[in-house]
Structure 1
């Protein structure tokens, strides 16, 4: 990507802009967070809001470069060695700090210590890591996955895995004996006894799973309308993880429509959403979620205008949803993923996202969106069309259906009245304020929409139509 194009990108997990050299603690937090995650770039001399290149004084560049090198060395632990370079764009000078993914996490601020000074990148923000995240970073350094760790609360003989054995035989036509359990790293021998790993506990129908992983479940809901105020149906899927994806998928099928479409001389049935893609995303959520995060479950939510899947844990650094047609594979759960592959639930070789991309081509009326929400990753299948009864032109008109996108309608309303409030936009679009704020956030992220002034007295600015 050309520098000029990159500078127009929104801030995010791997990108940050600063008008000048920020305080030592701010830039050190960002550098630590980048090193703990996928790496990233910081550009000095670029204002973020509104985005504009202001440049740095040419005479100050050597001094700023030295300051950056010194503060990284003095404030970050273990040692981080970024690449610092001076760039020119539009006859103005910038400094780029390229931070690479670290091989010795967790990285933290020396003066704060590991427990209080470890930061991770969540969206465009630096977030203080808690003990669970620090432990996960330490596993990453040792190249150990959480699901491979031994559980010594019960021996494998004491653990109830009968349903998993039946599922394994049904899918593979093999008996899940001790030899296969060892080969799949579902069990390990410690001090002369055979114990399950976290992965096998997650596949078990045993009280130990419920006590150790009370949130290793899928919460499904069908909401009335486009908000979360009223349920039509809901279900908690608490079976072992080998069965969760199919039950969640079946819940979705019960609550979306199937119609008929003419292809040539034939009439064929067609779901209103790309169900194969939804099934793949649900499977990925179960296989690749971060099971070490306590208090978080997978959520499958169905609204009138979209299907939404939220999985605990950020997207692995090497997975890029913007390049879905390329083969990508990065198993966070290195024991669970091969088991799912044997069961025929996933393709271990990275075809999953490619499958999603292929099916989306047959659904131009559905938009695929993805984003990080806190410490979770969310995928949405959103209908681009919206049925409106009124307010599109500021007048009340009965029984008018407009086959236009929410984004377009919202921008039209703002064009006519830049001082319109979010509440008024939501009412005009027949959406909840939550849904409307999500659309606004996406438009801001794309650089199309910005706001000047306060929420009460400010106004909207459309940067691009």
Structure 2
């Protein structure tokens, strides 16, 4: 579901709104609770939503029916944030009086703070559940929250009148709001003083690059696997393209550009006929592109998202590191932790992104389905780079025989995309030299790498992927 569906339901008469809210699935931004829930337990979804991207918690719906909130419970639930959350979760409360009783709707904005319950437990909304965070995960959230709140700061000197009116009206209609200001308020895109946030400006200004020149996507095409430098630069003439505009539009422009420029090979298509197909699956690079734009660090100026197309791979670079303590060596384990909560939620409203934090796992699945090598994430000092290789994956039986450390050595060579000495492979793989040599010889016997040199003592000898 799109989060806008909840907003649309809330514009209906109370009984119709309740029918819609009962029909919608619970999600990243929507949860139902019984009207008889204890106020201390109700604090959990309030904390979880505030620590994530905000959302709506409805008290009075459970098990597919209305379980109304009585007078005593209504007072306790309204005070739950004051009594049972630290720091207090701010929420707007709407009361729906239906034929079956009272239902309370809590509208929770994303927060710049990390919240916990009165018991000291920290929760975060991930998919359709409020997940209790471990101590390490809480540290991750706290360390990253300072950067995460950047999209909620005021864009200097910007008012609602500086935004693109047609885009804003279209979004207003999607949410069912009665004014552009209310639509922006519904997604915390206005500050308390009424100014437009950085997120609001990046999403709805006609040309946000006026204030944030680095907020764009650059698509480059090379005719060799190595970029080269100076006179040997392999960048194709006319294939350095900047995609600008508001975030949804620049994603669309960049996707169209990459789709036109990505190399193709003749293969069996889903239709059962042979024809041209992208050498890297569209769904894989598109997911990588969307993730890079939506979750990049916009507080880092001077750098932009890059999509670099080589004859044998696509590289997507996004400014900013993975949030907090997320482990870049195991990307599939990274849970949803949107750096830009407001941007992520609006993009979900517009159908640009999905809700369950499944983007990285989907990239892996698409590459595996195409029989290609697994995606490679490399985290640098100020950016994350995703490499999607157009090389065939190692067969399962060969991979089992070689073992994980040999495959790690092979991955180091593939990521480098150039011949490497044994010492360079050792440095990239973080293994002892004898271990690296043993794995390189195993890979050589399997026909996956080749050695080039004059003799076994040749200092210029190198290894390369076959």
TM-score normalised by structure 1 residue count? 0.52
- State the match for 1:303 in structure 2: 310
**RCO greater where, 1 or 2, for CA within 8 Å and sep 6 or more?**
2
- State the match for 2:241 in structure 1: 235
- State the match for 1:253 in structure 2: 259
The separation in 2 between residues aligned to 1:360 and 1:374, in whole angstroms, is 27
The separation in 1 between residues aligned to 2:253 and 2:296, in whole angstroms, is 17
- State the match for 1:224 in structure 2: 223
Is the deviation greater in 317-326 or in 330-339?
Answer: 317-326
The separation in 1 between residues aligned to 2:139 and 2:267, in whole angstroms, is 53
CA contact (8 A) 2:408 2:429 kept: no
Name the CA shift for 1:166/1:438 in 2 (closer, same or farther; >3 Å).
farther
The separation in 1 between residues aligned to 2:422 and 2:163, in whole angstroms, is 46
Task: Give CA deviations for 1:265-288 in whole Å, capped at 9, x if unaligned.
Answer: 922553211210110110000110
Task: Give CA deviations for 1:24-62 in whole Å, capped at 9, x if unaligned.
Answer: xxxxxxxxxxxxxxxxxxxxxxxxxxxxxxxxxxxxxxx
The separation in 2 between residues aligned to 1:277 and 1:264, in whole angstroms, is 16
- State the match for 1:213 in structure 2: 212
- State the match for 2:182 in structure 1: 179
Is the deviation greater in 434-443 or in 194-203?
Answer: 434-443
The answer to whether 1:365 aligns with 2:364 is no
Name the CA shift for 1:179/1:167 in 2 (closer, same or farther; >3 Å).
closer
Query: Counterpart of 1:344 in 2: which secondary structure?
Result: coil
Task: Give CA deviations for 1:324-379 in whole Å, capped at 9, x if unaligned.
Answer: 65682111111111111111111122121222122122122334111012210000
The separation in 2 between residues aligned to 1:272 and 1:183, in whole angstroms, is 42
Q: Structure 1 residue 216: deviation in Å?
A: 0.6
User: Which of the numbers 305, 317, 322 marks the counterpart of 1:315?
Assistant: 322
Name the CA shift for 1:442/1:161 in 2 (closer, same or farther; >3 Å).
farther
Task: Give CA deviations for 1:213-238 in whole Å, capped at 9, x if unaligned.
Answer: 11011111001111221322110111
5 Å-filtered alignment, 1:124-163, equals: 140=145, 145-157=149-161, 159-162=162-165
- State the match for 1:5 in structure 2: none
- State the match for 2:168 in structure 1: 165
Query: Counterpart of 2:369 in 1: which secondary structure?
Result: coil
Q: Structure 1 residue 461: deviation in Å?
A: 11
Query: Counterpart of 1:150 in 2: which secondary structure?
Result: coil
How many residues were matched structurally? Answer: 287
Name the CA shift for 1:230/1:325 in 2 (closer, same or farther; >3 Å).
closer
The separation in 2 between residues aligned to 1:410 and 1:314, in whole angstroms, is 20
CA RMSD of aligned residues (A): 4.3
- State the match for 1:197 in structure 2: 197
Select the structure that is richer in helix.
2
5 Å-filtered alignment, 1:46-445, equals: 140=145, 145-157=149-161, 159-162=162-165, 164-165=167-168, 168=171, 177-190=180-193, 194-205=194-205, 209-228=208-227, 229-232=233-236, 233-262=239-268, 266-267=272-273, 269=275, 270-317=277-324, 319-320=326-327, 328-384=335-391, 435-436=418-419, 444-445=427-428
Q: Structure 1 residue 201: deviation in Å?
A: 1.4
Name the CA shift for 1:434/1:274 in 2 (closer, same or farther; >3 Å).
closer
Greater than 6 Å deviation, 4+ residue runs? 169-176, 405-411, 456-462
5 Å-filtered alignment, 1:8-27, equals: none
CA contact (8 A) 2:152 2:191 kept: no
Task: Give CA deviations for 1:159-198 in whole Å, capped at 9, x if unaligned.
Answer: 12235326636977877722121010111231xxx21011
CA contact (8 A) 1:187 1:200 kept: yes
Query: Counterpart of 1:266 in 2: which secondary structure?
Result: coil
TM-score normalised by structure 2 residue count? 0.52
The separation in 1 between residues aligned to 2:217 and 2:249, in whole angstroms, is 11
